[in-house]
Every structure is written in C-alpha cells, then in structure tokens.
C-alpha cells in the first residue's frame, strides 16, 4: 500500500496533541513481526517525542490521538484510564436492527493469537449501541464503548447478532455488491471481490480535555471505502 503523507492525516493539532484520521490497513504501533510501516513511525519522522495515547485495530479507520510531549501523554492516558474520553464509532452491521441507546454489558477475555471472546469471568465491558440508518439487509450503527477492551465493539455486535460486515473473525461475512445490484456483471474470467476489504468499523468522533481542561471534540470523515459502502447501501435499499 502507498504510505500517506502524515500531514494529510491531521484533523487537529496544538502544542500538546495531534489527532489524525488513521487510514485502514496501517497499524498504530510496531507489530510483533517485521518492520512494517505504522502510524507512530510516520509521526516520529516529524515529531521525535510523539506517543500514541491509545490504539485502533489495523483495519479500523478514524480518529486517533497522539501526544507531543510526556505531560500531554500522561494527561490523556489518565483520562482514558478514568473513562473520561468519549469515543464514538460507526459500524456497518449485517441485518436490520433498531437500537436506541441499547446497553450491551458482557465481559471479555483475550485468548491466544490476537482474538478475544465473551466470558463470564472476563473483564467488564460495556458498549452503547444506536441505529443511525437501517438499509435493506444492513444497518449503520453508532457504538460508544464505555470501556476499552480488545475487539469490544466487534464482539458486542456479534453478540447482538449484528456482526460487522467483513469481520470474518467474529461471524461477519464479506459483502458483495451483486447481492444487492441485480444487473451487476463481473468481467469474464474474473471473480467478484468483497466490496470492502476489511471489517467496516470507523472511529468517527473523539472527545477529551486538553491540558488546560478545555474539552475538544474531533470528528473524522469516512475514508473512501467506508463512504462508498454506505452510499451503495443507501442507493440499493
């Protein structure tokens, strides 16, 4: 994949923080194997001391906060620990669902090989879920995680039988446009590709307090793959 220009990703910047719109398929931090590019490396080409205050899954796009100095990092890390940061995600889920602030309260434990599962003796996990737009066979959902467990939104939506499109790890099948568009033609000798090549989850909004206590809310526009998915689901519903 072509690496983005870090400056083009910036949604907000002051003396202490940078908030970027993380593209999909780019890890936040170094992965266990290999020296693949990641957000932190890109950021440190311009700011030596920058640190990631939280992380998004590699496939997840959206608002990601970075601290430019140790004081800023401590300040925001404490807000995350005390659950004072508001995070709002948008997800395209399978099925038609009508939720109005539904509270999902199901504990989560991590398992081996980068997976997690719902478990009675796991760590407490709470997500609020609201319907934004229902379509013919899918729903655009707003998810607000109150806690920050691994794969929390993905697991909680799977629990609701509303798995995320493309999230094959947790029961969300890939989406093919031919299932909606009646006159969809694949070129001879070619195989239809999934419409979105990742799970359809985007960190749409982030709210936290700056060092002086002033709250700041940053909204992250959809990347092209997520935006076009939503546009097509609207068009063919």
Residue 14 known to be catalytic: no
Q: How many helices (H) and strands (E) does the chain have?
A: 5, 12
98 CB burial (10 A radius; 0-12, 13-18, 19+): exposed
CB proximity list for 37: less than 8 A, separation 6 or greater: 3, 26
Name the catalytic one among 16, 30, 48, 57.
Answer: 57
Rounded to whole angstroms, the Cα distance separating 83 from 1 reads: 35
Terminal alpha carbon distance of the chain: 32
Nearest CA to 201 among 60, 105, 48? 60
Positions marked active-site: 57
């Amino acid at each position: 994949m072509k690496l983005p220009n870090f400056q083009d990703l910036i949604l907000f910047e002051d003396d202490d923080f940078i908030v970027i719109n993380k593209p999909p398929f780019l890890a936040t931090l170094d992965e266990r194997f290999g020296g693949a590019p990641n957000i932190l490396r890109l950021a440190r080409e311009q700011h030596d001391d920058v640190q990631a205050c939280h992380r998004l899954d590699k496939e997840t796009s959206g608002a990601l906060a970075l601290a430019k100095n140790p004081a800023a990092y401590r300040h925001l890390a404490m807000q995350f620990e005390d659950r004072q940061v508001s995070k709002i995600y948008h997800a395209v889920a399978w099925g038609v669902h009508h939720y109005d602030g539904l509270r999902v309260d199901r504990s989560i434990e991590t398992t081996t090989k980068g997976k997690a599962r719902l478990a009675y003796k796991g760590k407490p996990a709470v997500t609020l879920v609201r319907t934004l737009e229902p379509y013919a066979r899918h729903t655009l959902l707003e998810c607000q995680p109150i806690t920050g467990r691994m794969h929390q939104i993905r697991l909680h939506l799977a629990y609701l039988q509303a798995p995320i499109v493309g999230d094959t790890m947790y029961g969300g099948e890939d989406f093919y446009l031919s299932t909606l568009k009646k006159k969809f033609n694949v070129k001879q000798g070619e195989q239809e590709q999934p419409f979105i090549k990742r799970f359809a989850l985007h960190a749409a909004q982030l709210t936290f307090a700056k060092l002086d206590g002033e709250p700041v809310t940053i909204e992250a526009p959809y990347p092209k793959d997520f935006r076009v998915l939503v546009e097509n689901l609207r068009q063919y519903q």
